[in-house]
Amino acid sequence: MVRLASSWRAVVRAAFSRRFTTLWIIVIVNLAIAIVYLLTRSGATTAVRIEANGNHYRTYVDGELALERTFSGRPEGGIGFLLPQDFRLPGLPSPYGIDWVRVTDAATGEVLFEDSFDGSPSPLWQDDEGSWWVDDGVYTTDKTAPVTTGFQPWGDYVMEAKLRNITEATLYVRTADARDAITFDIGPFRTLGGRSIAKIEDGIDVDRLTGFRLEVSRVQTIRSILAMLLRPFPVVLLMVAGAALVALVLRFAPLERVIQNVVAGSPVRTLVAGLSAGTFALLLYLLYAVGEAMPHVPDSVAYVFQAKIFASMSLTADVPAVPANFSYFNPPMLIAEDGRWFSVFPFGHSLFLAVGETFGAIWLIPPLLGAASIVLIYRIGHHMYGEIVGVLAAVLLFSSPFFQMTASNFMSHNTAVFVLLLCLFFVVRPTRRRLISMFMAGVFLGLLFNIRPLAAVAFMPVLGGLMAFELVRSVSGRRALLREDLAFAAGSLLLLGAYFLYNQLTTGDLVTSPYALGGTFSEDSFGFAGSHSFARGLQNGQELLALFLLVANGWPLAIGLAFTTLPFILGTRQRWDYVLAASIFSLASLATLFHLAAVMHGPRLWYEIMPFLILLTARGAQCLAAAGSQLGDWLADRVWHGAPQASPGITRLAVYCLVAGLVAFSLLGWFGQRQAWRGDGITTFTPAEASQLEGFNFTDRRLVDLADDMALENALIFVEDCGQWFCFGSTFWRNSPALDGDVVWAELKETQDDIALLEHYPDRDVYVASYFGRSISPATIDDISARLEDVAAEERQDVIDAQTSTPEERDLTRNSDVERVRQALEFCVETTGNYPDTGGALLAFSVVLRSGSDCLLQRLLPDIPIDPLGDPVRDGYWYRSDGVDFLIVALREGAPAEQRDCPEDLEQARDSLGRMCVVGSIR
């Protein structure tokens, strides 16, 4: 017994010896991850409570009062739910739907109804379309179709519900059916982020109170984030087991020698150069052919215009004689200060674009920087981990949909990543001239500060930590390291000085940046001092992560960022792994400071983490191959007697073939050979396919091309204000900084500013352009003056009480309103291929606008059409559609000027007034 006890003690001592330290780290890390995975894998729960007492309704979300409102009528009724599908993202955790619901009597607390969906749903549920089912204890659907209990004799009651992983939801109380109820709409997902409570009668929204910026539980948002990050954890373990199995079974010395010979003889640098050239060609095609070589975002219009100013060898332009006609966005992207005109952004990105503008090829710059980034990430990966990792990183960056959509536009993120890679390259580059290398690293970090200041600020602590670590670890070389750090600081300070100098020359003050004048960093737009909060910042992170998982590498969600986590799951001790991970965390955390996630060309606020993520993904593949080989060898020694010689090259080949398959999967989705992912309301600003870059953000060259075809010279073109930035913004960037080109583009304001501008350009031919009308027509000063008179007359008419106007005049206004709606609907078809779908329900048009659509109908019609009678309950216009056909319904007091019969189901309408109907179809 003594000998046995001694043996066990020896085993325990051996198990906890330094020899097994790494193994215990791996076990502890994986155990911790497994616990968190199990606790969070079901995602976030949103708790909703609605109190219906008499005519008063109070709503709560996650324990906080959301809205309260008084509505007359509706003393009794049941409950129901609607889960819109437009903004449902596959990147979010699952299941998606209703986790639990309970109805209790408001006075006694008696439970009137409860369903936890542990088995079959309650027979009270009425699902007319049969589209609801129970999935893993959650009542869910894949259609925008309501489910209700129908009418129930429930008076004053409290409805409580737990909703799982939803992006939008409508809860019904006091329902007769889905067309007659009190509704509470919530959007826990940050993009939607609002709430409203309404009364619906006969499918028509008759009264509504809307709130914004819905804040949900921080704990639940963190659960959602962790669930998305850890979703691939079981797959990671399977990949390690699979690699070990390959290493155990496939042990063929001849094949191993062939692999080693092929790798040794591969012209790696030639392959990388070819990949870079191919990247340039592809990005040029996406930018020039698909994206029409034009800016599609208000920010990029400002960048391009500032580049034109720089290319003219000036820092600023002169303020226009009539500034109002040259403002394409609100808040302004171009600042007028003491006679100087310049963009709100730092100078760095526009300086790069100015090089291309100087040669009349500004569209070459983004593809060139993207192609150069391929070479840089290869070199960095090579220096950090070896040649194979460098090659993998280059291939992974090339195949990323996020990279391709970003490196083929005029936004600053592509330039920022290029400069960030240059900084990192000089930090990791092995050279005897370390002082020069570190000085250049500092210069490029400073340049990054002049492109995207916050990205530089977020990266600096990571570099500072790395430098401090090396100083502490080094004994004999501290003095040399300190000199290198000082050289880095000198380079950074040099470009920091350029930042302050640019401030002085533009704003007139060293410490006042153009950003400050533009209000970019106000209390309400940045940080937690104003209306923004940390909880909402976490919701930004949730939104960005859900989108990032779809576009970062384009891989199946079951794999997601699995390779990125492998070095840590396998107990890495490599310092670069932790530097890359810290950089990802630091840069990603920036999004919590912004009041919006600002999704445009994908989750762009996270684009600067891409090089670190790609390098860590390539490193993960290397770790997987190495761990599989080691584990396979360990098993072989215990399973086989006289096991064949190990073949680590075969294991590496298997892992890299897996990566190659994932790359092919991504490219096939991005180029439309398979459906990459669905998210009907999301793809507007986060393309799922390369083809969706065409006409991105509703912006194209229709007016610019028309003017080019007309070969206009010495022309002044007024672009009609359509209520959206892109009507004029799609042309403004063609102006010269001095506004003296062959064509001067200006916005038609229909104010005296137009006359003043005409007087400033007395000798130019005048035209009026319509973006939606796709037309440019000659005009005279009399035509412009007549427009002003018409506007003045309309304004005078608006102040006249509707009751004093004639029915005929009010019907004319209705005709005009309906025509505006029809044109907006046709634009929807043009941009998305279908009309906004109400599922066949007739809804008040204001409800349709608020519900959102792929073509963002509310942005096309910012002022909701309201009937001239000024009915305070109804807007007087209704709409229904199945996506293919649409019907617009309006009140009418006189006989229709033309026959516009309404469908039979509208004949029993309660309104005493007549109706007119307008129909349309894609067919």
The confidence score (pLDDT) of residue 444 equals 97
The confidence score (pLDDT) of residue 873 equals 43
Q: How many CB atoms lie within 10 A of CB 848?
A: 26
- 502 CB-near residues (< 8 Å, 6+ apart): 315, 346, 347, 450
Instruction: State pLDDT tens for residues 533-574.
Output: 888 888 889 989 999 999 999 999 999 999 999 999 988 889
Tokens coding 463: 């570099």
The confidence score (pLDDT) of residue 839 equals 64
pLDDT classification of 348: cutoffs 50, 70, 90:
very high
Query: How many domains would you assign to the chain?
Result: 5
Q: Which is higher by pLDDT, 8 or 126? A: 126
Closest CA to 80 of 155, 145, 138, 164: 145
Mapped onto helix, strand or coil, the DSSP state of residue 171 is strand
C-alpha to C-alpha distance for 268 and 524, rounded to whole angstroms: 51
With a pLDDT cut of 90, the percent of the chain lying above it is: 53
Pick left, alpha or beta for residue 772 (phi over 0 → left; psi -120 to 50 → alpha; otherwise beta).
alpha
Q: Is the pLDDT of residue 904 over 70?
A: no
**What are the beta bridge partners of residue 105?**
157
Domain shared by 886 and 794, yes or no? no
Which H or E run contains 161? strand 157-164
The confidence score (pLDDT) of residue 871 equals 52
Domain holding 780, by residue range, is: 297-344+701-799
> Which three-class secondary structure string do you get for 721-754?
CCCCHHHHHHHHCCCCCCCCCCEEEEEECCCHHH
- On the 0-12 / 13-18 / 19+ scale of CB atoms within 10 A, 557 is middle
Using the CB atoms, write b or e for 754-792: b if 16+ within 10 Å.
Answer: beebbebbeebebbbbbbbeeebeebeeeebeebbeeee
The confidence score (pLDDT) of residue 897 equals 40
C-alpha to C-alpha distance for 347 and 286, rounded to whole angstroms: 25
Closest CA to 212 of 177, 185, 235: 185
Using the CB atoms, write b or e for 613-632: b if 16+ within 10 Å.
Answer: bbbbbbbbbbbbbbbbbbbb
Last residue of a domain, one of 222, 249, 274: 222
Domain shared by 172 and 113, yes or no? yes
Tokens coding 627: 């761990």
**How far is CA 555 from each of CA 271, 655, 900, rounded to the nearest angstrom?**
24, 15, 51
Cα three-residue angle 864-869-874, rounded to 5 degrees: 50
pLDDT classification of 909: cutoffs 50, 70, 90:
very low
Query: Are 701 and 292 contacting, i.e. CB atoms less than 8 angstroms apart?
Result: yes
Domain shared by 838 and 905, yes or no? yes
Q: Which is higher by pLDDT, 134 or 208? A: 134
Last residue of a domain, one of 222, 243, 265: 222
Q: Is the pLDDT of residue 908 over 60?
A: no
Residue 99 lies in a domain: yes
Residue 713 lies in a domain: yes
Rounded to 5 degrees, φ, ψ at 864 are -65, 125
Last residue of a domain, one of 168, 187, 222: 222
Judged by average pLDDT, the poorest of 17-21, 185-189, 781-785, 806-810 is 17-21
- Region 732-749: what's the mean pLDDT? 95
Q: Is the pLDDT of residue 64 over 50?
A: yes
Domain shared by 337 and 317, yes or no? yes
Mapped onto helix, strand or coil, the DSSP state of residue 37 is helix
Residue 270 lies in a domain: no
Closest CA to 779 of 796, 757, 801: 757
> Which three-class secondary structure string do you get for 532-581?
CCHHHHHHHHHHHHHHHHHHCCCCCCCCCCHHHHHHHHCCCCCHHHHHHH
Domain shared by 731 and 844, yes or no? no
Residue 181 lies in a domain: yes
CATH code (residue 176): 2.60.120
C-alpha to C-alpha distance for 43 and 95, rounded to whole angstroms: 8
Domain shared by 122 and 207, yes or no? yes
Domain shared by 201 and 101, yes or no? yes
The confidence score (pLDDT) of residue 699 equals 92
The confidence score (pLDDT) of residue 833 equals 66
Residue 603 preceded by cis peptide, ω within 30: no
Domain shared by 104 and 7, yes or no? no
- 17 CB-near residues (< 8 Å, 6+ apart): none
The confidence score (pLDDT) of residue 914 equals 64
The confidence score (pLDDT) of residue 872 equals 38
The confidence score (pLDDT) of residue 532 equals 77
Q: Is the pLDDT of residue 510 over 80?
A: yes
C-alpha to C-alpha distance for 133 and 141, rounded to whole angstroms: 6
Domain shared by 783 and 807, yes or no? no
Residue 400 lies in a domain: no
The confidence score (pLDDT) of residue 912 equals 43
Which H or E run contains 164? strand 157-164
Domain shared by 6 and 127, yes or no? no
Q: Is the pLDDT of residue 795 over 70?
A: no
**How far is CA 783 from each of CA 5, 56, 754, 755, 810, rounded to the nearest angstrom?**
104, 54, 11, 11, 26
Domain shared by 453 and 493, yes or no? yes
The confidence score (pLDDT) of residue 312 equals 95
Q: Is the pLDDT of residue 229 over 90?
A: yes
pLDDT classification of 698: cutoffs 50, 70, 90:
confident
Q: Is the pLDDT of residue 923 over 70?
A: no
Give the position of tokens 């994986």.
30
The confidence score (pLDDT) of residue 735 equals 96
Residue 710 lies in a domain: yes
Q: Is the pLDDT of residue 620 over 80?
A: yes
> Which three-class secondary structure string do you get for 693-730?
HCCHHHCCCHHHHHHHHCCCCCEEEEEECCCCHHHHHH
Judged by average pLDDT, the poorest of 454-468, 578-592, 718-732 is 718-732
Residue 727 lies in a domain: yes
Closest CA to 207 of 216, 222, 196: 196
The confidence score (pLDDT) of residue 194 equals 72
Domain shared by 19 and 111, yes or no? no
Q: List the end-to-end C-alpha distance of the chain, in Å, as a whole number.
A: 89
Residue 850 lies in a domain: yes
The whole-chain average pLDDT of the chain stands at 85
